[in-house]
Amino acid sequence: MVTAERVWEALAEIPDPEIPVLSLVDLGVVRDVEVDGERVHVGFTPTFLGCPALEVMREQMAERIRELGAEPDVEVLSEGWSSDWITEDGHRKLRDSGFAPPSGKAPATLVQIQTGAHPCPYCGSTDTRLDNLFGPTPCRSIRYCNACRQPFEQFKTL
């Protein structure tokens, strides 16, 4: 019989469809796993509401659970996802691939344009500037590092 631990491991192998260096577990979208006999319930909060990866993520989780020989029940929770839920491991993987992890949630939410709050994932300098609040997906902004002259993608704080 499948255990919750086994399910978590399996879900941790599914890459995010748009940022494949991260798994769905690293991203913090899997909130809870409950095993009830043959049935596996997964509570899931997608990142941005307009994220087209939502359906892909759902289907991949269901598929992986079926491969474990269980019946998937993936529930989309109404609670809003926060970029604070990206794991430490996730932060490291993002940085390693030249992608700046989100800074912590600030009450003022203007964190995105604060200077000094966004170190460059390549050289670590905080001398970076916002180039565009919007990027290739709803969850990313574009910044530029004045020190190493490298543009980079910044995960938005949400």
Q: Which CB sits closer to other proteins, 12 or 117?
A: 117
d(CA 44, CA 76): 5
Cα 125 → chain centroid: 23
Q: Which CB sits closer to other proteins, 37 or 136?
A: 136
Q: 108: Cβ–Cβ under 8 A, 6 or more apart, which residues?
A: none
Question: What type of residue sits at position 73?
Answer: D
Closest to 34 measured CA to CA, from 75, 69, 64, 78: 75
Count of residues touching other proteins (by CB under 8 A): 23
Query: Which one of 4-12, 22-30, 72-80, 91-99 is the stretch in contact with other proteins (CB under 8 A)?
Result: 72-80
- Here's the x/- map for other proteins, 128-157, by CB under 8 A: it reads as ---xxxxxxxx---x-------------x-
Q: 95: Cβ–Cβ under 8 A, 6 or more apart, which residues?
A: 101, 121
Q: Which CB sits closer to other proteins, 15 or 138?
A: 138
Q: Is 158 in the site for other proteins (CB under 8 A)?
A: yes
- Here's the x/- map for other proteins, 75-104, by CB under 8 A: it reads as ---xxx------------------------
- Here's the x/- map for other proteins, 100-129, by CB under 8 A: it reads as ---------xx-xx----------------
Vertex 52: Cα angle to 48 and 53 (nearest 5):
85
Residue ranges in 35-149 assigned as alpha helix (H): 53-67, 88-96
Site residues for other proteins per CB under 8 A:
48-52, 78-80, 109-110, 112-113, 131-138, 142, 156, 158
